[in-house]
């Protein structure tokens, strides 16, 4: 057959692509369980990081089983509903309207009392950002926070994943004195906000910083009823 | 090359040794610099990256060489890309499954192996016109040449920038200024510019020792 003819070229391309596709799907399918386990371990590490427990990929599952004593799902009215908190995909939940979402809550037993861990998800500059925030049992003071991102700019927006950015969240308050949810302002120097409700934004990472602020406010708003109920 | 060449004839071994020194892809051909800067802040990702490139390059060379008499000339670049891309995805999936931490650290750079000029360069220049075994050796050689430079750079950057080698602390804690000592890590070393300067120094040392590379 003529190696430069159109028919040959088309058939060749088609067969090649089919073979490659089959091989890739087969491999992806067979490796899926291993990858899923890695993702779960990473999620557990992140949840633990939000209560200031550092873990490695080796001991994360063990510490998680020890420390995270309870996990459950609530709705926007703060009522407990059915569901498996750990396996809820925030991405899917966020596609729904706020009143239909299942909101996972994790409870962690530490030497300083029970901490409540809430997952967050929002938009950065280039792609999704997410994180976990943990609250003291007054449901107001932040005990710890951890954030991560998919594709923020290294050195700028990507700094939200560093300790330097996350550490100042500790001790901040999300409700003001009148009981209004103000969340946390991720502020640049020219913005004023009470010290207990603000952390410094990242210079050069304004859009990511603002996205993070919006993520905190939006997601904490959905938990508002739950927090108020739990506090009283 | 005749069919009766022994597997490890002088000519064949030269296919491996040449790219490690005389025609090194990074220091002599100046290909694949981008990833050499990006993944060399520590040794571990550099080693994994080197192994990944060796694997992808050797396999891609063999596959293309096996197919070389069937590939339609007009779509040969696309065919090469499909093969490389498929292999890179395989490597990425395997890393994700078995060394997840490293795969997170390498992040986009594994995907960028596809655009590493060394791969297309070797396939176009070598595998399309040579037998599978020679192509395999050429792939191993060029991958190793690339990896050797990566590992040298990463060794110095991790040692001087983080005071460790392959994650093990080399500089004693008591030396650090924060602990009352006299030493502090050079933060510049973990930034990409120092990688470029390290490549420059390697090229300098190599050229001053290798008479074949000295230009008039």
**DSSP assignment of A162-228:** SHHHHGGGTT-BSB-TTS-B---EEE-TT----GGGEEE--TT-HHHHHHHHHHHHHHHHHHHHHHH
Average pLDDT over residues A171-180: 88
What would the pLDDT profile of B51-67 be if each residue is shown by its tens digit? 889 999 999 999 999 99
Rg (CA), chain A: 22
Average pLDDT over every residue of A134-146: 92
**What confidence tier does A179 reach under pLDDT thresholds 50, 70, 90?**
confident
Rounded to an integer, the average pLDDT of B107-126 is 83
CA–CA–CA angle B95, B100, B104 (5° rounding): 95
pLDDT of residue B1: 46
- Give the torsion through C-alpha atoms of B63, B69, B75, B77, to 10 deg: 40
Inform me whether the C-beta atom of residue B66 falls under 8 Å from chain A C-beta atoms.
Answer: no
Q: At A206, phi and psi to the nearest 5?
A: -60, -45
Q: A57 at the B interface (CB within 8 A)?
A: yes
ipTM of model: 0.74
Task: Give the mean pLDDT of A184-199.
Answer: 84
Q: pLDDT tens-digit profile of A120-132? A: 999 998 899 999 9
pLDDT recorded at residue A31: 93
pLDDT digits (tens, 9 = 90+) for A216-229: 999 999 999 999 88
* pTM of the predicted protein model: 0.74
How far is the C-alpha of B172 from the C-alpha of B184, rounded, in Å? 11
Question: E strand or H helix at A133, and its extent?
Answer: strand A128-135
Res. A1 pLDDT band, cuts 50 70 90 = low
Rounded Cα distance, B74 and A12, in Å: 11
Per DSSP, helices labelled H in chain B are 10-20, 33-38, 43-67, 76-98, 100-106, 108-111, 117-125, 132-162, 192-209
Are B57 and B143 a contacting pair, CB within 8 Å? Answer: yes
Contact call for B82 and A20, based on CB within 8 A: yes
Is the CB of residue B97 less than 8 Å away from at least one CB of chain A?
yes
Per-residue pLDDT tens digits for B65-105: 999 999 998 888 999 999 999 999 998 898 888 888 878 77
Can you tell me the distance from the alpha carbon of A99 to that of A74, in angstroms, rounded to the nearest whole number?
11
CB B82 to CB A16 under 8 A? Answer: yes
- Answer yes or no: are the C-beta atoms of B201 and B26 closer than 8 Å: no
Q: Among partner residues B79, B83, B97, which is closest to A31 by beta-carbon distance?
A: B97
Of residues A114, A116, A87, A90, the one with CA closest to residue A101: A90
- Going across the sheet that includes A128-135, the strands are A80-81, A68-74, A103-110, A113-123, A128-135, A142-149
**What pLDDT score does B74 carry?**
87
Closest among B145, B126, B147, B146 to B136, alpha carbons compared? B126
Tokens of A23: 């091989």
CA torsion, ordered A85, A91, A94, A95, to nearest 10 deg: -130
In whole angstroms, give the CA distance from residue A191 to residue A202.
Answer: 13
Mean pLDDT of A49-63: 87
Count of pairs with CB atoms under 8 A, one residue in A, one in B: 51
Q: What radius of gyration do chain B's Cα atoms show?
A: 19
Q: Distances in Å between the alpha carbon of A161 and those of A110, A131, A167, B36, B94?
A: 23, 9, 11, 24, 25
pLDDT of B215 > 80? The answer is no
Residues B22-53: tens digit of each pLDDT: 888 888 888 888 878 888 888 888 888 898 89
Average pLDDT over residues A56-68: 86
A27/B74 CB distance under 8 A = no
Preferred mutation among B68, B72, B87, B109 to probe A, highest tally of A CBs within 10 A: B72
In chain B, domain spans: 24-213
Check if the beta carbon of residue A45 is closer than 8 Å to that of residue A38.
Answer: no
Distance from CA of B85 to the nearest CA of A (A): 10
Among A6, A15, A20, which would you mutate to test the B interface (most chain B Cβ atoms within 10 Å of its Cβ)? A20
Share of chain B above pLDDT 90, in %: 31
Among A136-140, A200-204, B107-111, the range scoring the smallest mean pLDDT is B107-111
**What pLDDT is stored for residue B107 in this prediction?**
67
Kindly determine whether residue B89 and residue A13, on different chains, have CB atoms separated by under 8 Å: no
Tell me whether A24 touches chain B (CB under 8 Å). yes
pLDDT at B216: 60
Cα–Cα distance measured from residue A210 to residue A160, given in angstroms and rounded to the nearest whole number: 11
Would you call A38 and B100 a contact, using CB atoms and an 8 Å cutoff?
A: yes
Mean pLDDT of B7-28: 83
**Which residue is listed with tokens 């040298």?**
B152
The verdict on B81 touching A (C-beta cutoff 8 Å) is no
Structure token digits, residue B206: 């190599």
């Amino acid at each position: 057959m003529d190696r430069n003819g159109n028919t040959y070229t088309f058939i060749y391309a088609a067969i090649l692509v089919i073979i490659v596709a089959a091989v890739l799907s087969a491999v992806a399918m067979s490796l899926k369980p291993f990858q899923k386990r890695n993702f779960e371990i990473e999620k557990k590490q992140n949840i633990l990081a939000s209560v200031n427990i550092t873990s490695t990929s080796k001991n994360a599952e063990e510490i998680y089983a020890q420390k995270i004593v309870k996990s459950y799902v609530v709705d926007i009215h703060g009522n407990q509903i059915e569901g498996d908190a750990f396996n809820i995909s925030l991405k899917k939940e966020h596609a729904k309207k706020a009143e239909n979402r299942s909101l996972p809550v994790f409870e962690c037993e530490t030497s300083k009392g029970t901490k409540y861990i809430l997952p967050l998800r929002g938009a950065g500059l280039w792609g999704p950002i997410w994180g976990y925030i943990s609250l003291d049992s007054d449901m107001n003071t932040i005990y710890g926070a951890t954030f991560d991102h998919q594709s923020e700019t290294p050195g700028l927006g990507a700094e939200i994943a560093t300790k330097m950015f996350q550490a100042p969240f500790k001790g901040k308050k999300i409700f003001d004195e009148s009981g209004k949810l103000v969340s946390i302002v991720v502020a640049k120097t020219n913005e004023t906000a009470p010290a207990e409700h603000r952390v410094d934004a990242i210079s050069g990472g304004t859009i990511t910083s603002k996205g993070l602020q919006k993520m905190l406010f939006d997601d904490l708003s959905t938990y508002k009823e739950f927090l108020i109920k739990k506090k009283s | 090359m005749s069919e009766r060449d022994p597997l490890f004839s002088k000519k064949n071994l030269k296919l491996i040794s040449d790219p490690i020194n005389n025609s090194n892809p990074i220091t002599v051909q100046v290909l694949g610099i981008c990833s050499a800067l990006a993944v060399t802040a520590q040794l571990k990702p550099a080693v994994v990256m080197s192994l990944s490139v060796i694997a992808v390059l050797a396999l891609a060379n063999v596959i293309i060489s096996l197919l070389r008499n069937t590939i339609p000339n007009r779509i040969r670049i696309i065919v090469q890309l499909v093969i490389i891309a498929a292999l890179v995805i395989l490597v990425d999936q395997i890393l994700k499954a078995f060394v997840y931490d490293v795969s997170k650290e390498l992040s986009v750079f594994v995907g960028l192996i596809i655009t590493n000029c060394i791969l297309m360069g070797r396939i176009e220049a070598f595998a399309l016109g040579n037998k599978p075994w020679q192509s395999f050796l050429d792939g191993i050689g060029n991958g190793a040449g690339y990896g050797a430079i990566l590992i040298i750079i990463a060794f110095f950057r991790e040692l001087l920038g983080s005071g460790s080698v392959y994650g093990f602390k080399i500089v004693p804690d008591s030396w650090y200024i924060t602990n009352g000592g006299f030493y502090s890590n050079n933060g510049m070393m973990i930034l990409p510019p120092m990688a470029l300067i390290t490549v420059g120094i390697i090229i300098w040392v190599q050229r001053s020792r290798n008479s074949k590379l000295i230009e008039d």
